[in-house]
Structures are given as C-alpha cells and as structure tokens.
C-alpha cells in the first residue's frame, strides 16, 4: 500500500495542544473549535495534549481552567489530556535517533556567548542567528567545557526550500537559509516546543495539524525534523489570529477574553460556539446556527485568510438570538440554578418557563434574563423618580376601578385586556397613563412586555396583593 492510500483510508485525527500558562482565551478556544469540528465532521478523533514543558509558566490551575472551558463549550476529546511532561523519556529517545543519524549535535555555547554573538551580528547588519559554532564540522578542535550543560541543536539543512500546501493559506515556501540550528532539548532535558510537537504529532498519529498562524514560522523547522526522522507529514492548516477592534492582537487590554468569563456572565455555550465559529469562517450569510448545523457546514476552505476582529457587541447579540431560540424549560433550569446569589422561593411567583417565554426576547444574557425574572419574585422596589412621575394621586381612582374590575373575571389575557380597556374609557386615559403605574406596582420597572400578559402571569392573588399594597401608599 502506498503512503498516499494509507493516508486516504486512515481516520482523521486532529488535536488541540494548549500551553497551560493562563486561562483559555477566545483565540485559543476558536483554534480548538476548528480542530474539534474538523475531526467531528469527518467522523474522526480529537486529541487534547497539554504542552507543559515550560515549567516556569505552566500551572495546574491553568490546566483546570482549560479543561473546564472546553467542557463548558462542549468540545469533547477522545484521548487525553496527554501531558508532555509525562513523555520526557520519549523525547530523549528520539533525540538520540537524531544524534545518531547526524541530524543533531550538542552545543556548549553559554547564554552570554550567544548574546555576544547576536550583538556582533547586529553590528554587522546581519540577522541575528546561531552561527553553527558547535556543528561537528566546525567544532573538531573544540573541547566541550565541563562546567556547561549543553543543549541539543537540530542540524538544519543549509540549502533548498521547505514548502507545504497549507489548508487555509495555500502553498507556503521558506528557504532553508532563513532557518538556523534551533534547540531541540534544553539543558534540563525538556524538549522545546518545535521538537516536542513533532514527536507528539507523529506518535499520536495526527493527520491534520490545525493551529494559530502565529506558528507558521515554526512549521518549516518542524517539517525539517519530520524529514530527518523519516516521518510522514501531517496536513497543516494555520488559522489567522483574532484582533481587537483597534487592529492589535487580542489581549486582556481589549476587555474580557477568557472563555469562563462568558460563562459567568450568562452566555450560552452554543452562542459562544456560534460566535467563535463565525469569527473567521462563513457559510454564506448564515449568522445564527446550531452546533449540529455548524458541524454539517464547517470546512477549512471557508476559513478567512486574513485576521478576524473580535466584536463583543456581536457576541452579545448572538447570545440574545440563542436565548430567544432556546427551550423555555432549559432556560428556566439555568436561571433556577444561578439566581444571582439570591434566595428565591420559586413557588412564590408565576410559572418560570411561561415568564421566560414572555421575557426572553429582551435578554442578551442569562444574567439579564434572571434579573428581569427575579422582579416577579422579589419585593417590588420603585425608584423615587418613577414614583413621582407615574404614581400620582390623580391616577388612583382609575387604579382602584381596574383592581375591582379584575375581581370577578375569568383569568385570561383577553379578559384582562378587556378590563384595562374599560378603565381607560371610564377615565378617558391613554394606555401608557394606566400601564406605566401598573408596570411599576407589579415589577418596579417601567419597561416590561405587554401589561395584560404580565398581569396574567403574575396571577390574580399576587396581582391584587401588589395593587393593594401599592395603592395604600398613594
Ligand atoms: N502549545 C502551542 C500553543 O499553545 C501549540 C501550538 C500547536 O498547536 O502546535 O501555541
């Protein structure tokens, strides 16, 4: 069987390989989403690998934050998390292979020596790069100093090009003269990113490497290592960066960029997924879609080649659309689970999912939705301004008339609307003149959905109690 036919029949395997040096941010989540979606769409497998060899910057808490964020977004993995620090002996084994085949060598140059080398190169107007001083052909007369722990360097080819057909960016060609002999193993025995990633992507049988395009410069180095080891290359797809609205690379400076922040602010995971999917990829004019639709439509051909701009307003809008489409019972469960730290007796108010049906088209987050729902369960609080403006003594007779008219009716929206109409006619009022005081007395708010719908939901007993309480203060 040829290598090509083996590839054609092999299962698609992608991975997400975060470095646990902070929370999972929007950019990382989108990279993970595309890699995950590519595997899921093709019935393949998705692997989670934690690149934790930078011991100074990696932390347990970051690992947990990444796992939590992925779980919340529903980006499930088939294997992992695999930790690079558990695989150190494997990197050393492959390092030996490279040494034995003449593709790697130990370099005893000290950091001070290398800094000096770069300064001199800069002075001479050449690009600073390792000059190959410990390459075997240059180091025949050098004696390895005993007090220096060496690093292992890759002997990069001196000539020729490295080219690959990037699944997002098309053909990319880099000349080997641009690349220097980079470090494979640090003095402490840990692999550098460019080495660990090749060993892992090969050992884990990954067919597609989908990652951020901040790694485009690393890919030719990695391809050279693949070749030196005789490994088959995976396909590479580099996804453009996400920028802030000022065109700079997205960072904390641009506000909230952590996935968990959006969970805490009442975003639905499917809405964040939808927004991230659209951020740099499109399917015609479709803006709002479900997870299943996305998986059906996703392809790398429609990933933009240029960077995307993060737009918090559009993310909120997307969330609002998803809330509007979401099942009322599901939303009720989410609101009940997180009522903004308040003790609420849910039985003491209108039916929650009916209320949500009425209120959800105004909400752009679950927290918004919870706020508007809770008005119906808490004691009503009316601001002094609103009281002075809308609850004037001259409206009292109309409110009493309306309250009395409610007593005997069959409880339903048309009947309530009928009572409102009767009071309006009787007192020659316009709708807002009666509706505003009613809104305030029932919810403490001036903006609510249709007042007859609100009254119906609040229920006769609670409604009358609130009206009586309000009226006694007029
Ligand atoms: N650990 C690298 C990062 O977080 C992974 C790059 C890759 O996917 O190869 O950027």
* Every domain of the chain and the residues it spans: 3-81+195-242, 89-185, 379-471
Residue 237, ligand 1, Cβ within 6 A: no
pTM over 0.85: yes
Q: Is the CB of 215 under 6 A from ligand 1?
A: yes
Superfamily of domain 3-81+195-242: HUPs (3.40.50.620)
CA of 211 to the centre of ligand 1 (A): 7
User: Does any ligand 1 atom lie closer than 6 A to the CB of residue 211?
Assistant: yes
Which region, left, alpha or beta, applies to residue 192 given φ > 0 means left and ψ of -120 to 50 means alpha?
beta
CB contact at 8 A, 436 and 399: no
Indicate whether 151 pLDDT > 60.
yes
User: Is 116 annotated in the active site?
Assistant: no
Residue 191 φ then ψ, to 5°: -80, 150
- Is the CB of 17 inside a 6 Å radius of any atom of ligand 1? yes
C-alpha 61 – ligand 1 centre gap (Å): 18
Q: Has residue 458 got a pLDDT over 80?
A: yes
Q: What is the model's pLDDT at position 9? A: 52
DSSP state of 13: E
Ligand 1 centre distance from Cα of residue 17 (Å) = 5
* Ligand 1 atom with least separation from CA of 18: 4
Strand pairing category for 242-243 and 45-50: unpaired
The rounded distance, in Å, linking the Cα atoms of 41 and 209 is 15
Q: How far away, in angstroms, is 81 Cα from ligand 1 center?
A: 14
Q: Which of 175-184, 215-224, 255-264, 286-295 has the lowest mean pLDDT?
A: 255-264
| Identified catalytic residue from 252, 309, 314, 360 | 252
Average pLDDT, whole number, for the chain? 93
* CA nearest ligand 1 atom 5, residue: 17
CATH of 89-185, one of 2.60.260.20, 3.90.800.10, 3.40.50.261, 3.40.50.970: 3.90.800.10
Instruction: Provide the pLDDT for residue 347.
Output: 87
Dump the DSSP string for 197-252: HHHHHHHTT-SEEEEEGGGTTTHHHHHHHHHHHTPPPPEEEEEPPEE-TTSSBP-G
Instruction: Write the CA distances from 104 to 92, 151, 336, 469, integer angstroms.
Output: 12, 10, 60, 84
- Yes or no: domain 379-471 corresponds to CATH 1.10.10.350: yes
* pLDDT confidence of residue 2: 47
Query: Given this chain, do its domains 3-81+195-242 and 89-185 carry the same CATH topology?
Result: no
For ligand 1, say whether the CB of 18 is within 6 Å of any of its atoms.
Answer: yes
Counting from 1 in the atom list of ligand 1, the atom nearest the Cα of 28 is 4
């Amino acid at each position: 069987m040829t290598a090509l036919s083996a590839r054609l029949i092999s299962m698609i395997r992608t991975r997400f390989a975060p470095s646990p040096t902070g929370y999972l941010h929007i950019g990382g989540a989108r990279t993970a989403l595309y890699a995950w979606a590519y595997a899921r769409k093709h019935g393949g497998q998705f692997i989670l690998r934690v690149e934790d060899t930078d011991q100074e910057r990696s932390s347990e808490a970051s690992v947990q934050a990444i796992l939590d964020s992925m779980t919340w977004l529903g980006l499930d993995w088939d294997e992992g998390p695999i930790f690079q620090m558990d695989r150190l002996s494997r990197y050393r084994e492959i390092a030996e292979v490279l040494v034995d085949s003449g593709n790697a060598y130990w370099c005893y140059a000290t950091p001070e020596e290398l800094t000096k080398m770069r300064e001199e190169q800069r002075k001479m107007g050449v690009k600073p790069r390792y000059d190959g001083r410990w390459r075997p052909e240059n180091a025949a007369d050098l004696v390895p100093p005993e007090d220096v722990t060496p690093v292992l360097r890759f002997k990069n080819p001196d000539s020729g090009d490295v080219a690959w057909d990037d699944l997002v960016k098309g053909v990319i060609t880099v000349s080997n003269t641009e690349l220097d002999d980079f470090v494979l193993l640090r003095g402490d025995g840990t692999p550098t990113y460019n080495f660990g990633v090749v060993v892992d992507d090969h050992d884990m049988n990954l067919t597609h490497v989908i990652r951020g395009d901040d790694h485009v410069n690393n890919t030719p180095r990695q391809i050279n290592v693949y070749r030196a080891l005789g490994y088959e290359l995976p396909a590479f797809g580099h996804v453009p960066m996400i920028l802030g609205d000022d065109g700079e690379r997205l960072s904390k400076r641009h506000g909230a960029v952590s996935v968990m922040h959006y969970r805490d602010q009442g975003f639905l995971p499917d809405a964040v997924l939808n927004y991230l999917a659209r951020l740099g990829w499109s399917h015609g004019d479709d803006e709002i879609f479900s997870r299943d639709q996305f998986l059906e439509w996703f392809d790398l051909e429609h990933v933009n080649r240029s960077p995307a701009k993060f737009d918090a307003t559009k993310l909120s809008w997307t969330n609002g659309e998803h809330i509007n489409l979401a099942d009322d019972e599901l939303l009720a469960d989410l609101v009940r689970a997180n009522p903004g730290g308040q003790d609420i007796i849910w039985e003491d108010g209108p039916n929650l999912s009916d209320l949500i049906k009425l209120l959800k088209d105004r909400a752009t987050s679950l927290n918004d939705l919870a706020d508007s729902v809770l008005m119906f369960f808490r004691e009503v609080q009316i601001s002094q301004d609103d009281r002075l403006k809308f609850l004037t003594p001259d409206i009292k007779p109309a409110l009493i008339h309306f309250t009395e008219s409610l007593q005997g009716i069959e409880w339903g929206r048309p009947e309530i609307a009928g009572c409102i109409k009767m009071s309006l006619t009787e007192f020659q009022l316009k709708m807002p003149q009666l509706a505003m005081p009613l809104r305030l007395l029932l919810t403490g708010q001036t903006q609510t959905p249709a007042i007859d719908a609100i009254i119906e939901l609040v229920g006769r007993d609670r409604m009358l109690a609130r009206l009586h309480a309000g009226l006694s203060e007029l």
